[in-house]
Amino acid sequence: MKGRRPIPLAIRKLTGNPGRRPMLPEPMPLRLIPECPEFLHDYAKDHWAFLAPELDRLGLITMIDLGTFALLCSAWADWRLNTEAVLLTTNGGVYKTGNGYLAQIPQISMARAAGAVYSKLASEFGLSPSSRTRLADPRFALFDDGDDSDLDPWGPA
């Protein structure tokens, strides 16, 4: 499909529809947090438990997001495992080759690749810093419960 990628209606409502394009209805899958797959690494499961409730509160996760969200959490686990492996090395993530040259250990490249996957998928769910700033304006909240007390970190005046 050529052209600009469509922006989900929920995100367009949260951002105030800056492009002023018509807000046509879109298919609405069942809004329910998908169950975390058992085969994921414990780090991925922890990340799932951390992110899923907030994404559900914002209306940004549904049952059909299972695969994409599992990939996001799995990328987190891969990044963390490889980053920990690099941190455990005593030689700063390099080794000496048979020819005597210094080379980077593979876990550095693997951590970078996992980080790139995570970053791409995070923006799909509004989790990157720039996509989060577009969602941060409370005037465009989808699920306004009328309680603005959480907007002021210092409490009522």
| DSSP secondary structure string for all residues of 65-76 | GHHHHHHHHHHH
The rounded percent of the chain whose pLDDT value lies above 70 is 80
CA distance 82 to 144: 40
- pTM reported for the whole predicted model: 0.69
Over the stretch 96-150, which tens digit does the pLDDT of each residue have? Answer: 999 999 999 999 999 999 999 999 999 888 887 777 666 544 444 444 444 544 4
- Residue spans of the domains in the chain: they are 9-19+39-145
Contacting residues for 12 by C-beta, under 8 A, at least 6 apart:
21, 23
Over the stretch 58-93, which tens digit does the pLDDT of each residue have? Answer: 888 889 999 999 999 999 999 999 999 999 888 888
Flag whether pLDDT at 35 surpasses 50: yes
